[in-house]
Amino acid sequence: MISVDQLVAVPSLGLRYLAGERGGSRLVTWAHACDLEDPWNWFDHGDLVMTTGGGMPADEASQCRWMTQLIESKVSALVVASSPTAPEVTQGLIDVAEAHGFPVLSAGYELHFVALARTVIESAIESERQRVTAIKRLYDVYWQSLHARSTFTERLSALEVATGWALEVREQLAGELIATGRRHYALDGTGGAVSDPVHVPIPGAGEVVLIAVADRLPVTDRPLVQHIGGLIALELEHDAAQRDRMRASGADLLSGLIDESITLSAVWPELRHRGMVGDVVMACWSMPDGAPLNHHSIHRQVCLQNYDPLLLVRGSALVGLVPYDTEMLQRVAAKLAPGCAVGTSSQLAMNTHVAEALRQAQLAVARAHERGSAIATYGDEGTRDFLPSSVEDIRRLVRSTLGPIIAHDRANDGNLVESVRTFLRYDGVWQTSADALNIHRQTLVYRLKKVEQLTGLKPTSTEGAAMIWLALTAAERAELTLDDLAD
């Protein structure tokens, strides 16, 4: 496309500015002649209006209103080649145009509008030809990058080279950076002044936008930016589908690790393939009131773009085998729900029992809720009292937590303690726990209901399971029998 300045620079057209020279960079998409009194009803955005003045009002006040309405129609410029009978262009009209930076050009009456229109049309056709060539080049560059198995950032950089622009992809609402090319200096201003960026929504990607800023070349072709946005949309859609598959397989792996049908050592190499090359922990996210979490698309969030953790929904909580990155874990919590907290276990080793690490994480998140903090780690400075340090403290904890069911078992030759211990050992799987106890599933349901009635703790809840497990584990580690602990 051709700009107003470029039209003025064509000697054969004989155009000169009456007003609005600072708007000379406006692009002209088409040119039409019109001598009607309401040209704004007949033109589109970017058109050049050519008139002999026949439809212009004569008095200054009316010309000012006429000019204002024409400017509001978003046309690019006005060319006036006044006929002998047309009213003169008033100073008021010129002042209105100048105030808005709207180009008003004068031409001799002998100017053939068809010559001006031909210049604009030829430029538009050439621009379209160049755009088609540029689009083909973009797709070729992108295909070559895909074929070379490059990263998203590398593909974005290849598109930067092809266009001469600096590019980045952001989540618009939170402002989180998804990807940027190597020319980021043009976007953050470290390479000098930043020109006005062009924002293009990525189709089908929610609130994600592509931002293009001039680097070697100005960003003058928005349709070309939109084509790049289409390529990015395909990229993000492919990535989302891959992340969905990774989450589903990760849930299966974590379920197997928790019920100990899979060992952590067998899964350890897979963790590296999922981006978890450093320390890993078990994490538990939950709300203080047990409200559900918005977890369905959490694995697609920007804060997890470098990882594919093992995630599993358990009741109203989300648990996961994740990198030990406290900042990332808290960002995940903020995405899941306002007020959501996260608890983490001790760091895992290849011989760690994941089910026990999960209970540590559940205890930690329960402590986070008690303290009103966003995160707690099992064994840190604020949670060292999870397991009592003295035998007397252990006795006190077990009696306050399990005393009623210990007394019940002694008085009735019952099995409530062993039933709840087995239920927690098999991580709350009803049928597996019942089979291990050699009882009917409904009998186990009755026994755990009795535990809840006697202790006030629900073994199937995060808090109840954590407190009961804490008491049982403390007694086992101190090598104390429950008979010795009863009142």
The CATH class that applies to domain 2-120 reads: alpha beta
Indicate if 391-485 has the same CATH topology as 263-382.
no
CA distances 124 to 127, 216, 249, Å, are: 5, 23, 52
What torsion do the CA atoms of 249, 251, 255, 256 make, to the nearest 10 degrees? 20
Please say whether the beta carbons of 364 and 344 come within 8 A: yes
β-strands 2-3, 16-19 pairing? unpaired
DSSP lists the bridge partners of residue 105 as: 17, 79
Token duo for residue 182: 């190597």
CA distances 372 to 226, 248, 288, 331, Å, are: 46, 32, 9, 16
Query: What is the full per-residue pLDDT of the chain (487 aa) written as tens digits?
Result: 788 998 999 888 889 999 999 999 898 888 888 999 999 999 888 899 999 998 999 999 999 999 999 999 999 999 998 888 899 999 999 999 999 999 999 988 777 788 888 888 888 787 778 777 777 877 787 787 777 777 888 888 888 888 888 899 988 777 788 888 877 655 555 544 456 788 888 877 667 888 888 888 888 778 888 888 888 888 888 888 999 999 999 999 999 999 889 999 999 999 999 999 999 999 999 998 889 999 999 998 888 988 999 999 998 899 999 999 999 999 999 999 999 999 999 999 998 889 888 888 888 888 888 788 999 998 775 555 566 655 577 678 888 888 899 888 888 888 999 999 999 888 888 999 999 999 999 999 999 999 999 999 999 887 788 889 888 877 775 556 666 565 5
Q: Measured between alpha carbons, how far is 348 from 385 in angstroms, rounded to an integer?
A: 21
Token duo for residue 378: 């099992």
| Stated pTM of the model | 0.59
The CATH class that applies to domain 263-382 reads: alpha beta
β-strands 208-214, 165-171 pairing? antiparallel
CA distances 479 to 372, 391, 410, Å, are: 34, 10, 19
CATH among 1.20.1740.10, 1.10.10.10, 1.10.10.2840, 3.10.450.50 for 391-485:
1.10.10.2840
Quick one: which of 463, 487, 460, 485 has its CA closest to 474?
485
DSSP labels, 225-253 = HHHHHHHHHHHHHHHHHHHHHHHHHHHHH
Q: Domain locations in the chain?
A: 2-120, 150-238, 263-382, 391-485
